[in-house]
Structure 1
Amino acid sequence: MFIEAFGTDAFVLITAFLLFSGIIAAKFSSRWGLPALILFMIVGMIIGSDGLGIIYFDDAGVAQLFGVFALVLILFEGGLHTKWATVRSVAVPSLSLATIGVVLTSTLIGAAAFLLLDLSLMEGLLLGAIVGSTDAAAVFSVLKERNIKAKMGATLEAESGTNDPMAVFLTLSFIELISNEGSSIWMLIPTFFLQMGLGLVLGVLFGWTASFSINRIRLGSSALYPILSIAFALLTYGITAFVGGSGFLAVYIAALVIGNRELTYRYSIFQFNEGFAWMAQILMFIILGLLVFPDQLFSSEVMYDGIILSLLLIFVARPAAVFLSLIRLNYTFKEKLFISWAGLRGAVPIVLATFPVVDGLNNSQTLFNIVFFIVLTSALIQGSTISWMADRLNLVGPKKDTPHHSIELISMGKVAVEMIQYQTSQESAVVGSRLRDLSFPNHANINAIIRDNQVITPYGETEIKAGDFLYILVESKYKDQVTKELERTVTPIKTGSES
């Protein structure tokens, strides 16, 4: 449609314009404390047919295709950066939120939609299923620069990375029940276990295969290794979905496996995937913004229904699901309250809302507009106040400091050597130690220390201080030993029980 309407050259120009607009929006979102996805979607609505009229776009099928493609890249990038040790510590609560929590949220919102809107029970439950899961793209981007306590951040990221499969399953199941009167909800239960089981098994299999292949295959250029990782991400989703498994779950699990194994060209692969995921996120949200028509979205009926359901989701359904899902799982009242507040909705609900439109269900456009309004409300209210809420609940962790410097490395894949970047904190056991006293193997050397944006040339008597960025050159086989030494923390002295 784009090429037919504008021509190839104009299509390239428009794509460049969208990317520039997205980058500017991301810059302002950081300054204003708003989730970037809001500004991305606003850009799409402004340049769409009801705005400046630059692009007319109403193809839900194309938006769905691009949305799924982008979500695969975003989940893959998020999984690569997730530490297994962190996930393992919150695996049970995260899975409980990703399954029981999604079902409870979907049921409560579905019942409310049935009672409040002019929808059948199945259509109401379909709407509940669509908005039932938190969104990986929104959560990853919002938490990335926020100084939330590690336990909270890990729980939310693990939940958002694993709850999409449940929302997809519920959405497709209700579409099937609405479209096919002969379908039974009991027939869908075996399908659920099949999808999740295949997603888990194939995710681990493809993750191991990808890691093995990247480390063993000798390609002509180091630039091909990041592309190889993307190819494995798409292959994981495609094959898993083709055989009836959960492609999203498989991609996240595969990325988790890859990111926690020794990897040749690790830095290049991670940087490439982060940039590619950002590009996909920008274009995805802008395209989803193009798909909605503001005159329909901001009609009195949609706004009224959307506000009521948004408030019920934020203040009733999500908290109820969180508190019930985390019973006896060692979370304080304040922590549960924060997890409830940080349940952002984003691209996944909007992409899922295109499925009823593509299938031509009755009231599908109404469902899409209400879901879009709920996402905007959630992102605006919750996304912009996460740091404030964490501060109020005393759940703020150490300040995240992103260095304004970088070390560009030549390719060292063939000699199995890596450069580790590590920032110390007040809790790091290595703080106060001299370099000569560290229990590093002989094949690991601290090559540079950056302190207060100044380069410190390290030698044996150099003392490590909190906030230092350490750059350590180490043979890959000794990386775990060095990492364990760096991540040792000072045992805190308990002065009282936690509230």
Structure 2
Amino acid sequence: MDFLEANDGVVLLVGLLLVAGIIVAKFSNRLGLPALVLFILIGMLIGSDGLEIVYFDNAEVAQLVGIFALVIILFEGGLQTKWATVRRVAVPSISLATAGVVITSLCIGGTAYLLLDFTWYEALLLGSIVGSTDAAAVFAALKERNIKAKLGATLEAESGTNDPMAVFLTISFIELLTNVDANIWMLIPSFFWQIGAGIIFGLLFGRFASFSINHIGLESSGLYPIFSVAFALLAYSVTAAVGASGFLAVYIAALVIGNSELTFRYSIFQFNEGFAWMSQILMFIILGLLAFPGQVFTADVMLAGIALSFVLMFVARPLAVFISTAFLGYTMKERTFLSWAGLRGAVPIVLATFPVVAGLDNAQLIFNLVFFIVLTSALIQGSSISYVAKLLHLVGPKKEIPYHSIELVSMGSANAEMVQFEASEESAIVGKQLYEINFPNDATVSAMVRNNELVTPGGNTEVQEGDFLYILVSRQQKDDLRRLLNRKKHPEPKTTQ
């Protein structure tokens, strides 16, 4: 269409795609399908093999958009992750992110070698591309599902940290296929550099970002979320520039930032959540555009794809989980669930563009197979996560999402901040009236929300479990307020008969 070739037409198309993506996200749970599948289908529908609204076959652009979107998605996921939860599952998550990826890659690579006319390097390249779970798919699938916290944290930490291994293996096999002088043993030090430097750069950027956000004193509160995103992009690009894992650096930096005390914390979190959704919508639509249904849904690709998907879901992933989590305190049911919940998504498709960009033989076939495997994984595994969790009795408490919010006039130049606090069962202030609580002098409880209803606080108002308190406090006394709010109830002494 000529209109779409003009700038105004492109702007219109992007707007329509975002609206369509948001509507799809709203109804995806009702349809029982993961949103990412529907986003991909939108891209395929408007592409050259569909309605022919957009012709797109530029793997380099798709790769760039995919990397940018994954940085935003990983950053948002890391911000929302509690360090106390991740720390308990650090060892199994790292095991899954390293040994698990290798085991999965070997199983899929061996199957591809037997089924297809591939060399061993080509087969293992395919295995490496689909070897890692996908952060975008896992974060989206678990966001509002009441899976037990231990399992959710394991899956999120694994998906946030297993990209370096997949990227390393993918690039290594491309190097072996394109460079006759390359030796696989020479590439091993590169992996340790990617992991080690990625962690170090992530910690440094996370701490520097937290300090900068709290001390820069911007005039507008709307600049703080943008400032945080800038650090995410810097963490990725600087780390990648020195040959280390930029994705790992972004996730580690986000963990540090999200678990620090931040100025305008909730503005930063809300902005990044919306930005991650927008990135996810556009990324999956563009990846859908890049896939030509006439090439993906051929008999040869579908037969091989079904066989590889079967091996991935029922052999490779379970084998990787059971070996990687052996003797680490997971029950048989928990390991079964972890096996089923290893979703594939954007990362394998983005990695599948690497062989295309490198101009390898069979690159297009590899891309088509990976695309089919991702669709199969998302459709079958993604749509049944909640059902499998219920079947295995691994459902935790229902996630409650507060629908209330308080919008503040920018206080960037003021010496004050609004602190939100949820009173839990262990909070020392629960059961006390406000006048009994020794708040700092410059702290005022401005509002309370109880059962999604606004309560006007007074001195005799009692704090109850589940209450949300909004407290205006000077920045000098913010730490004192935090210490007060974080106090736990002392256990009642046992009485003797």
Question: For 1:119, what is the secondary structure of its paired residue?
Answer: coil
Report what 2:37 is aligned to. 38
Report what 1:180 is aligned to. 179
Within 5 A, what are the aligned runs for 1:372-391?
372-391=371-390
8 Å CA contact 1:440–1:485 kept in 2: the answer is no
Report what 1:495 is aligned to. none
Cα displacement string for residues 190-228 of structure 1 (whole angstroms, at most 9, x for unaligned residues): 011111111111111111111112222233322222211
Measure, in 1, the Cα distance between the counterparts of 2:429 and 2:340.
35
The yes-or-no answer on 1:139 pairing with 2:138 is: yes
Report what 2:415 is aligned to. 415
**In structure 2, do the counterparts of structure 1 residues 182 and 7 end up closer, same or farther at CA, with 3 Å as the change threshold?**
same
Cα distance, 1:35 vs structure 2: 1.4
Cα distance, 1:30 vs structure 2: 2.8
Report what 1:286 is aligned to. 285
Report what 2:273 is aligned to. 274
8 Å CA contact 1:430–1:438 kept in 2: the answer is no
Report what 2:189 is aligned to. 190
The yes-or-no answer on 1:122 pairing with 2:147 is: no
Cα distance, 1:294 vs structure 2: 0.8
Cα displacement string for residues 106-138 of structure 1 (whole angstroms, at most 9, x for unaligned residues): 111111111122211111111111011111111
8 Å CA contact 1:412–1:418 kept in 2: the answer is no
Within 5 A, what are the aligned runs for 1:296-315?
296-315=295-314
8 Å CA contact 2:422–2:466 kept in 1: the answer is no
8 Å CA contact 1:440–1:481 kept in 2: the answer is no
Return the letter of the residue paired with 1:247.
Answer: G
Within 5 A, what are the aligned runs for 1:450-469?
450-459=449-458, 462-463=461-462, 465=464, 467-469=466-468
Report what 2:479 is aligned to. 477
Measure, in 1, the Cα distance between the counterparts of 2:437 and 2:34.
42
Measure, in 2, the Cα distance between the counterparts of 1:284 and 1:489.
50
Question: For 1:355, what is the secondary structure of its paired residue?
Answer: helix
Measure, in 2, the Cα distance between the counterparts of 1:430 and 1:261.
22
**In structure 2, do the counterparts of structure 1 residues 480 and 340 end up closer, same or farther at CA, with 3 Å as the change threshold?**
farther
**In structure 2, do the counterparts of structure 1 residues 479 and 240 end up closer, same or farther at CA, with 3 Å as the change threshold?**
farther
**In structure 2, do the counterparts of structure 1 residues 82 and 439 end up closer, same or farther at CA, with 3 Å as the change threshold?**
farther
Report what 2:495 is aligned to. none
The Cα RMSD (Å) is 2.4
Measure, in 2, the Cα distance between the counterparts of 1:91 and 1:200.
14
Normalised by the length of structure 2, the TM-score is: 0.92
Question: For 1:99, what is the secondary structure of its paired residue?
Answer: helix
8 Å CA contact 2:421–2:470 kept in 1: the answer is yes
Question: For 2:454, what is the secondary structure of its paired residue?
Answer: strand
Return the letter of the residue paired with 1:266.
Answer: R
Cα distance, 1:467 vs structure 2: 4.7
Cα distance, 1:12 vs structure 2: 0.9
Segment drifting more, 411-420 vs 183-192: 411-420
Cα distance, 1:433 vs structure 2: 2.4
8 Å CA contact 1:264–1:416 kept in 2: the answer is no
**In structure 2, do the counterparts of structure 1 residues 177 and 406 end up closer, same or farther at CA, with 3 Å as the change threshold?**
same
Within 5 A, what are the aligned runs for 1:61-460?
61-413=60-412, 414-415=414-415, 417-422=417-422, 424=424, 428=426, 433-435=431-433, 441-442=439-440, 446-459=445-458
**In structure 2, do the counterparts of structure 1 residues 147 and 478 end up closer, same or farther at CA, with 3 Å as the change threshold?**
farther
Measure, in 1, the Cα distance between the counterparts of 2:201 and 2:298.
45
Cα distance, 1:468 vs structure 2: 4.2
Measure, in 1, the Cα distance between the counterparts of 2:379 and 2:428.
41
Return the letter of the residue paired with 1:257.
Answer: V
Question: For 1:233, what is the secondary structure of its paired residue?
Answer: helix
**In structure 2, do the counterparts of structure 1 residues 188 and 111 end up closer, same or farther at CA, with 3 Å as the change threshold?**
same
Segment drifting more, 165-174 vs 452-461: 452-461
Return the letter of the residue paired with 1:477.
Answer: D
8 Å CA contact 1:22–1:282 kept in 2: the answer is yes
Return the letter of the residue paired with 1:389.
Answer: V
8 Å CA contact 1:428–1:490 kept in 2: the answer is no
Measure, in 1, the Cα distance between the counterparts of 2:55 and 2:165.
33
**In structure 2, do the counterparts of structure 1 residues 108 and 229 end up closer, same or farther at CA, with 3 Å as the change threshold?**
same
**Unaligned runs of at least 5 residues, structure 2:** 493-497
**In structure 2, do the counterparts of structure 1 residues 389 and 479 end up closer, same or farther at CA, with 3 Å as the change threshold?**
farther
**In structure 2, do the counterparts of structure 1 residues 4 and 210 end up closer, same or farther at CA, with 3 Å as the change threshold?**
farther
Measure, in 2, the Cα distance between the counterparts of 1:322 and 1:483.
40
Measure, in 2, the Cα distance between the counterparts of 1:188 and 1:347.
25
Cα displacement string for residues 26-81 of structure 1 (whole angstroms, at most 9, x for unaligned residues): 11113223211010000000010111110010111110011001111111111111
Cα distance, 1:440 vs structure 2: 6.5
8 Å CA contact 2:3–2:9 kept in 1: the answer is no
Cα displacement string for residues 307-341 of structure 1 (whole angstroms, at most 9, x for unaligned residues): 11111111111111011101111111111111111
Cα distance, 1:373 vs structure 2: 0.7
Measure, in 2, the Cα distance between the counterparts of 1:340 and 1:312.
12
Measure, in 1, the Cα distance between the counterparts of 2:169 and 2:39.
27
Measure, in 1, the Cα distance between the counterparts of 2:155 and 2:149.
10
8 Å CA contact 1:146–1:387 kept in 2: the answer is yes
Measure, in 2, the Cα distance between the counterparts of 1:12 and 1:489.
59
**In structure 2, do the counterparts of structure 1 residues 13 and 357 end up closer, same or farther at CA, with 3 Å as the change threshold?**
same
Cα distance, 1:189 vs structure 2: 0.7
Number of equivalences: 487
The percentage of counterpart residues that share the same residue type is 64
Normalised by the length of structure 1, the TM-score is: 0.92
Cα distance, 1:464 vs structure 2: 5.0
